[in-house]
Structure 1
Amino acid sequence: MLKHQLVHPEINGVLGAAGHHSKILIADGNYPASTKRGPNATLVSLNLSPGVVTVSQVLRALLSAVPLDAVNTMGIPPDDPYAEQGEPTVWAEYRQVLQEANSPLELEPIEKWDFYEAVESPDHVLTIQTADQSLWANVLLTMGCRVAPEN
């Protein structure tokens, strides 16, 4: 029986086989998950119906299960019409999820085309497709190391 909040068998299997620097994409409902992923990435579709499940819900479960080195959002290019609206509101929710998990990590945006390039890396091991309807809600996680407790 697992003690953390992540109970999905396929996701746990991929994460258990992954290592330091492996990339995990939590994709919103608009992300082209079938075509924009790394050559070694498993795609798990959790998009049940619009808004179910959300990126925040998946992020919360993953934070309970794996160590992370980085949390990157898809940054909006300055020439994109959405850039005029400022930071996506869902990013504040991600910060709250990180804070609740006692994570010292900060959200670090990667501009859209660089984000796609990072996802297409051979280090990308997992895409979790959600049905999140928030704009610019994609999150790319970089796995950290599990360290031995200090004596």
Structure 2
Amino acid sequence: MLYGISPLISPELLKVLMEMGHGDEIVLADGNFPAASHAARLVRCDGHKIPELLDAILKLFPLDTYVERPAAVMQVVPGDTAQTPIWEEYRAIIQQRTGIAEPFEEVERFAFYERAKKAYAIVATGESALYANLILKKDVIKA
């Protein structure tokens, strides 16, 4: 344990966040996402929900200001009637932590999977909300 770092941030996740460079992406994957089969680096955060983890990460992790949309969500599959209220939770957390009001790019499901395979890491969570997967793009640390 350390001062100022949420206990939700495991040593492994902290290491991954520190290793990442400008433009690298990390996926916060819901419980249904095929994280283990898609990850170059897999971080287990089983039992944790993404909103709480997102808030803890954004206290340490700058979102990329050099791109129009530094975060991405998986687009609802056409014909699926699922609702995505969790996106509003994410938006509120991101706006509170970064000031970015419209952070999301919506990515088609299979394109999202391909992008996740190229991400620096995938964090497998216990999130049960549908379409709760989230990609974050890292910025530079400005002194």
| Category of TM-score, reference length = shorter chain | 0.7 to 0.9
Q: Percent identity?
A: 30
Q: 1:75 to 1:58 in 2, by over 3 A?
A: same
After superposing on structure 2, the runs of 4+ consecutive aligned residues of structure 1 that deviate more than 2 Å are 1-7
Structure 2, unmatched stretches of 5+, are: 65-69
Q: What does residue 97 of structure 2 align with?
A: 101
TM-score normalized with structure 2 length: 0.85
**What count of residue pairs does the alignment treat as equivalent?**
135
Alignment of 1:1-151 (within 5 A): 1-5=2-6, 7-37=9-39, 41-47=40-46, 52-69=47-64, 70-78=70-78, 81-82=79-80, 84-85=81-82, 87-104=83-100, 106-121=103-118, 124-148=119-143
Distance 2:36 2:113 in 1: 13
Output the amino acid matched with 1:62: I
Q: 1:3 to 1:12 in 2, by over 3 A?
A: same
Distance 1:100 1:13 in 2: 25
Q: 1:19 to 1:63 in 2, by over 3 A?
A: same
TM-score normalized with structure 1 length: 0.81
Q: In angstroms, what is the RMSD of aligned CA positions?
A: 1.7
